[in-house]
Each structure stands twice: as structure tokens, then as C-alpha cells.
Amino acid sequence: MKVGIIGSGGREHALCVSLKKSEKISKIYCIPGNAGTNLIAENIDLNLNDFEIIKNFIVKNNIELVIIGPEKPLVEGLADYLENENINVFGPNKIASQLEGSKTFTKKLCEKYNIPTAKFGIFHNPSNGIDFIKKSKFPIVIKADGLAAGKGVYICENEDQSIQAINEIFGGKFGEAKKILIEEFLKGEEMSFFVISDGKNYKSFGTAQDHKRVFEGDKGKNTGGMGAYSPSRMENKELDKKILEKIINPTLKGLKELKTEFKGFLYAGLMVINNEPYLIEYNVRMGDPECQTILPRLKTDFGKIILACINKKLETINIEWFDQKSLCIVLCSKGYPEKYENNIEIKNLDEMNLDKNEFIFHAGTKNIDKKIYSNGGRVLNFVVKSESFKKNRVRAIELINKLSWNYGFFRKDIGFKVID
């Protein structure tokens, strides 16, 4: 079967590598892909905002299945558009994608179905928000409602910071803002929890711990993710049961009552407090870099799992995992998540001899005349799998040093909670 993957990040390269091993998949197109996907798939440079051009390419090339990696095309309804043309899509429709596209949609769902989450208020103008802040305790969390590439969340320690956050969001820093959320600050440990669903049934799809802050010791600005490990150290049967019963099941029931369903990966960003889960946010896709650590642990043929979802037969598949632990360090362009330079050549990638438990997933990279150049803030993902997180980290750092790309930086402390 021919498959098309939409996206160009580390997540999409990891999806591509797992699908490539599948006995069900004969050819992969990546739209638009990166210099890593270019090694195993055919990259097609199409504008992701133009659904018709994407559809025409898929039809012309007899692509039988499309997997949508990132949130933006999902929230904008690419899955609905392609399905209307009788194209098989793995990824949720526009209504279900509101779980990520609108924080107020998710909060209202939480309220209706008693899903544990931070207490919150929704405010439609700056002065109401500021009045509320004046009566609040700190820290407090202020969020833009729509998609903001992981950046529209402020943790405020005092009134001045809160007022600045409210003014920035309503001032349009993350696009036009009609409302904001102000939330209680939850103190606990975060966990990324994944399920895969065919619209009828679902199965757990692993856990991971992301590292969102740019600097070591979880300091500095939020980023898309500087590294991750899988499984999360908090994974246990009792917590798993609580997450499914208190969070995932009522969410899927809520979607059903809206006369829709969820097909694809659902990613619950959780705060765990005393072994009790609270929902911080939903994403309607795999996490990046969580995907890069979870997929190498998958034992079952990934293509078979996705096809079972398309055929609403997920219940017939037993998803198996390797016991090993996996850890990912992201090599970023100096300056990220703020200003950084693109188009800097990355040499030595050809000379990196990786064994079967080591991976370099490309993110912001591109090819020009057979050479590889940087093309984004997060550039390469170094992933190592073994019986020990510590060994993984040592080896990932060794690989990054061997590459010796002087225009990059990375966190050396990924996994600090599970490594002494």
C-alpha cells in the first residue's frame, strides 16, 4: 500500500521510519518532509494550506492512506476534506480536533463530564481578566484559547506578570484573541499519555516525559520540547486505570454525544498529584519529541495498527512493546526558541555509525544539492534505546558530540528525574 505522511518534523521522520519497516507499506510520500524522510520516502513540497492541491496529488498518485502528523491541518479540517473525497485518513476530524484547537472547548467538556482538571475561568476582555487576577493567589496560569505552538501559556508569579500576559494575548501575540483562560496552578509531575483510536475502540499507546523548558534544570522559556524519555517513571496499573476511567472514557463519550468520533492518536498532557491524574491539555496527534521515543519501543507492525484503525478493527490487534527504555535529546539551533539562523550546513551525518537501537530523526533539516542544511529551531533528534536511561543519555550525548555541529545546543540533563 502507498501511504502519504503530512508534516516535516522529528515526529514525521519517526512515523516514516516505523512505517518503512511494515510489511503492509510499499511506498511512502512525505508532504513536505525533511532531509531525513528524504532518505527513505519521496518528499513532495506542497503547501499544507492548500487542501485541493494535496487532494489532487493523493488521487493522482493512488495514495491509499494519509497520516496527518501536526495539529494545524487537523484543526483546520484536512481530515474531513480528504475523507469527503473518499481518501482514507488516520487523524481526527475538525470537531474532534477542537480538543486541541480550543482550550475552552476542552474545559467545557471537562466541566460537563466531571473530568479532573485545574479550576478555571474564561474571560472575554482584558479588564475582566485583570479584575479576577486582583483577587487571585499566585502562581496562576494564563492561556490563549487557540493553537499557539506550545507558547501561549504563561505561568505568572504576581499581578504585574499576569497583566502583561493578559495584554499580550489580547494584543494578538498568538493571533486574534476573543477570550483567554485563567487557571489554577497545579503542582505535581507531568506525564504525556497516549491512546490510539479507530473511532469505535481505543488502546493505550505508551507514556513519555517531555522536557519543555529550554535550559537545564527546567529553566527558561517553553519550547516545543527539548527531549523526552519513555516510559514515564509514573506509569503504573492503578494510575493507568484512573486515567482511562476519569479522563479518556468520558472524553470519548462526550465526542459521541456531539455525534462525532475520534480516529487517530489522542495525547493527554497530565499533571499527576499523589497518583491522581489531572488533565492539563489535549493534543490530537502524537507528541514531538515523545513520538521519537515511543515508536522505537513498538514491537508490533506499525502499518498493521494504522490499517486496523482505518478499518475500525483495532480490537483485533494486540499492541506489543519492547521492555527497553528510550531517551531522546533534541539538538536545536542556537537562539531557539527565539531568534536563530537557518541554512547552516550539517556535515558528518553520513559518518555516524548507528547500531539498531540508535536513531537520528531529522526535524528542521533540508537538502540542497545533496548537502544537508538546518531549517528550523529543533534540528535533529538523537534517540537511544537500551535497558538503562543513563546509558541512553550518555550515548546520545556521545553521538551529538561526534556530529560536532557547532551551531547547535542541547540539554545535557534530559531524564534528570530518572537518572542519578
Widest pairwise Cα distance in the chain: 60
Question: Under DSSP, is residue 398 helix (H, G, I), strand (E, B) or coil?
Answer: helix
Binding mask 218-247 for ligand GLY (x = CB under 6 A): -------x----------------------
Size of the site for ligand GLY (CB under 6 A): 7
CB within 8 A of 240, min separation 6: which ones? 204
Question: Is there a contact between 327 and 415 (Cβ–Cβ < 8 Å)?
Answer: yes
Q: How far is it, in rounded angstroms, from Cα 301 to Cα 19?
A: 8
Candidates 22-30, 287-295, 317-325, 342-350; binding stretch for ligand GLY (CB under 6 A): 287-295
Give the amino acid at 397: I
Crossing angle (nearest 10°) for helices 302-310 and 10-20? 100
Site map 200..239 versus ligand AMP, x via CB under 6 A: ------------x---------x-----------------
Does 153 participate in binding ligand AMP (rule CB under 6 A)? yes
Grid cell for residue 267: 495525547
Sign for the pseudo-dihedral over CA of 183, 189, 195, 200: negative
Provide the mask over 239-278, with x wherever binding to ligand AMP is found by CB under 6 A and - wherever it is not: ------------------------------x---------
Q: How far is the CB of 105 from ligand GLY (least distance, A)?
A: 17
Q: Which does 290 bind (CB under 5 to 8 A by kind): ligand GLY, ligand AMP, none?
A: ligand GLY
- Which of 3, 19, 68, 141 touches ligand AMP by CB under 6 A? 141
Interacting residues with ligand AMP between 111 and 140 (CB under 6 A): 118
Q: Using CB distances below 5 to 8 A depending on partner kind, what does residue 288 bind out of ligand AMP, ligand GLY, none?
A: ligand GLY
Q: How would DSSP label each residue in 206-217?
A: EEEEE--EEETT
End-to-end Cα spacing for the chain: 46
288 scored as a contact of ligand GLY (CB under 6 A): yes
On the 0-12 / 13-18 / 19+ scale of CB atoms within 10 A, 184 is: middle
Interface positions, 199-218, toward ligand GLY (CB under 6 A): 210
Q: Which residue has the cell 499544507?
A: 48
| Using rule CB under 6 A, residue 12 touches ligand GLY | no
Which residues of this chain interact with ligand AMP, rule CB under 6 A?
118, 141, 150, 153, 183, 185-186, 190, 212, 222, 269, 280-281
